[in-house]
Amino acid sequence: MPVPHDERRRSSPATSITVPPPPLFTQSFFARENASARVLYLRTLVGGCFAIVIIIFAIFSIYWGALWKTPVRNLNGWIVDFDNALIGTTVKEALMMPSPQSKVTWKVVPMDQFPGGVPDVERAVKEEKTWLVLAVNQNATARLTASYANPDRAYNGSSAVTVYAAEARNENAFRVLIRPSVQTQLAAVGMQFAEKSVGSLLTNSTGTSAASVTSILATSPQTVLAPLGFTMVNILPFDKPVASAVTFVGLIYQLILTFFVVMMSSAARDASGFGKSLSLGSLVVVRLLSAFVAYFFLALFYTLLSVAFQLDFTRQFGHAGIVVFWMLNWVGMLSVGLALESLITLLTIRFIPFFLLSWIIVNVGVCIFPIEVMPAIFRYGYATPFYNISRAVRCIVFGTKNDVGKNFGILIVWVAISCITLPLFQWIVRRQDIRAAQSEGTDRGSEGRVIDISAGAGTGGVKGESAGVPEKGGKGVYAAAGDVHHASGDLDMDMDVGLNLSLGVEVRKLGLRTAGAGEGGEEGVILVGSRSRSLSGSGSESRTPRRGGEEV
């Protein structure tokens, strides 16, 4: 009569004994059992903090340096004298004198270069030939002289000089450098000119008398007290506060969004196994195509967010401006995101955050003030993605100089570089993976062995990946990567055994035939992988605990 499977197991002369794992969630950090884990934890934490300290001094210094002594050089400004008389001469002489407080280096430009007058002056500023133009207006001296001779209540000294600048080109430069410097210099020039004019009036150098001065003060006091002033014309105002989100802060957000995509893409490859199963060419195509498609739609929704907050895109390109802005965001995301996608191949998930931080600082540091006023080392900024995105956005939103084609070209170069480096880095890593898989596969192959531990039976020898077991009445142990299978009876098995390697997945097809006791009911024990199975002739299965990868 056949013996039931459970009774056969109980009657077996050789019994498997497993050691239960330690209870979870009960140990102290300073427990003796955690000594090696504690050392590893502290070493990892301290090493990471030390790397962050290096980042602080090596990378954060870029941002601090961008603000430390700025401006180290002055912005360029033009003086155009349309007056060609006393006021024009006075202003030119005063501004051309060196002044340590001035943030503008002035240059006198002949009025012949502006045959169209004021429109030509504004065009020069808009086309970024200079940061600002100070124009001494035509007949400024003649109007002042006429007001001296015949006091005019409507005389306005601020109409003598007009300063043209574009805030939208760089709002920080306009607010911090240009406007304060011009106000300080021209206020000093106006005061000096007023003092000289009063002295001339009192000494009758203009044919008047003290009584005439009193008369002028009574009728038109501004003619005496403020004969020379100025008016600042902001030809391209930064009049959309929400634009700050797309010209500066929003660029950081864009980069962070691309970082999320890179991390999710990496997790998706690990979860699907594509990182190890796909060929090199297929893997590179999947990574690049995923990034291009993901950023395409993310850029669209980023653009729609700006539209929802009523950012005007029609000033430069009309209604096509929104499409240009969308494509700019797409290419911009690709330029910064593909760099992350490429380098995560070498740096891995552990170290890519360090590059992310460096990538942000390197880009942001050149977008605060004009590169012209920063130390020479920051000239690299002309080629950075953030700088070119910001420049193109200002053109689309505010109508500044149209260099959008050049900006797109620089961004596309960044994309092309990443499209070249990503396959190269993936090829390097794939070669390392193949070597590691081959090496580990050899090591795993030498571990398999058959041991006969039954009473009275001979001991099975070590026979590589597969070995025989006693034909009758014995118990055999087949070891292959740690799975435990208890088999009894005559059982033919054709098994696919997945060996999960640290750098690859290798599938081996093992053809095994175990000869158990059959009639005597003895068991064979097969160790394969990380699971323990007891297999009878009918295919029944039971789980056996294991500890530390060893079956006791």
pLDDT digits (tens, 9 = 90+) for 125-141: 999 999 999 999 999 99
Residue 439 pLDDT greater than 70, yes or no:
yes
> Could you tell me what percent of the chain has a pLDDT over 70?
75
Confidence of residue 20 (pLDDT cuts 50, 70, 90): confident
Q: Are residues 105 and 228 in the same domain?
A: yes
Q: Are residues 104 and 180 in the same domain?
A: yes
Q: 49 lies in a domain?
A: no
A 10 A CB-CB count for 521 gives 20
In the chain, how many domains are there?
3
pLDDT in tens, 466-476: 344 444 444 44
C-alpha span between 264 and 510 (Å, rounded): 36
pLDDT in tens, 86-102: 999 999 999 999 888 89
What's the confidence (pLDDT) of residue 485? 41
Provide the mean pLDDT of the chain.
Answer: 81
The closest of 517, 507, 430, 440 to 473, measured between CA atoms, is 517
Q: Are residues 189 and 212 in the same domain?
A: yes
> Could you tell me what percent of the chain has a pLDDT over 90?
62
What's the confidence (pLDDT) of residue 441? 73
**What is the Rg, in whole angstroms, of the alpha carbon atoms belonging to the chain?**
40
What's the confidence (pLDDT) of residue 180? 95
Residue 18 pLDDT greater than 80, yes or no:
no
- End position of a domain, from candidates 234, 260, 277: 234
The closest of 527, 509, 525 to 517, measured between CA atoms, is 525
Q: Are residues 383 and 320 in the same domain?
A: yes
Q: 548 lies in a domain?
A: no
What's the confidence (pLDDT) of residue 219? 85
What's the confidence (pLDDT) of residue 205? 47
What number of CA atoms fall less than 13 Å from residue 202's CA on the CB side?
8
What's the confidence (pLDDT) of residue 522? 42
Q: 58 lies in a domain?
A: no
pLDDT in tens, 276-307: 899 999 999 999 999 999 999 999 999 999 99
Strand partners, 478: 450, 526
Residue 201 pLDDT greater than 90, yes or no:
no
The closest of 142, 139, 145, 143 to 208, measured between CA atoms, is 145
Q: Are residues 177 and 267 in the same domain?
A: no
Cα dihedral across residues 178, 181, 185, 186: positive or negative: positive
Residue 85 pLDDT greater than 70, yes or no:
yes
Q: 122 lies in a domain?
A: yes
Confidence of residue 222 (pLDDT cuts 50, 70, 90): confident
What's the confidence (pLDDT) of residue 548? 42
What's the confidence (pLDDT) of residue 70? 85
Rounded average pLDDT over 435-443: 82
**Which residue shows structure tokens 């009918």?**
538
What's the confidence (pLDDT) of residue 100? 84
What's the confidence (pLDDT) of residue 113? 94
Rounded average pLDDT over 475-482: 40
What's the confidence (pLDDT) of residue 197? 85
DSSP 8-class letter at 398: H
- Which of 366-370, 499-503, 521-525, 528-532 shows the highest mean pLDDT? 366-370
What's the confidence (pLDDT) of residue 431? 94
Q: 28 lies in a domain?
A: no
Q: Are residues 303 and 356 in the same domain?
A: yes
- Which residues lie below 8 Å from residue 268, measured CB to CB, with a gap of 6+? 274
Q: Are residues 292 and 277 in the same domain?
A: yes
Q: Are residues 402 and 484 in the same domain?
A: no
What's the confidence (pLDDT) of residue 550? 40
Q: What share of the chain is helix, strand, coil (3-state, %, to 5)?
A: 55, 15, 30
Q: 55 lies in a domain?
A: no
Residue 16 pLDDT greater than 90, yes or no:
no
pLDDT in tens, 449-467: 444 444 444 444 433 343 4
| Residue 100, helix vs strand vs coil | coil
What's the confidence (pLDDT) of residue 11? 47
Q: 385 lies in a domain?
A: yes
Confidence of residue 23 (pLDDT cuts 50, 70, 90): confident
- End position of a domain, from candidates 408, 441, 474: 441
Q: Are residues 415 and 314 in the same domain?
A: yes
Confidence of residue 2 (pLDDT cuts 50, 70, 90): low
Q: Are residues 407 and 312 in the same domain?
A: yes
C-alpha span between 181 and 174 (Å, rounded): 10
C-alpha span between 226 and 437 (Å, rounded): 85
Q: 206 lies in a domain?
A: yes
Q: Are residues 312 and 211 in the same domain?
A: no
Q: Are residues 221 and 278 in the same domain?
A: no
Residue 533 pLDDT greater than 60, yes or no:
no
Tell me if 389 sits within 8 A of 251, measured CB to CB: yes
pLDDT in tens, 30-74: 998 889 999 999 999 999 999 999 999 999 999 998 888 889 999
Say which CATH number the domain at 197 has: 3.40.1710
Query: What are the start-end ranges of the H helices in 108-205?
Result: 118-126, 140-149, 171-172, 179-202
Confidence of residue 443 (pLDDT cuts 50, 70, 90): low
pLDDT in tens, 154-182: 899 999 999 999 999 999 999 999 999 99
- End position of a domain, from candidates 185, 207, 234: 234
Query: What are the start-end ranges of the H helices in 365-450?
Result: 385-398, 404-445
Domain that holds residue 358: 242-441
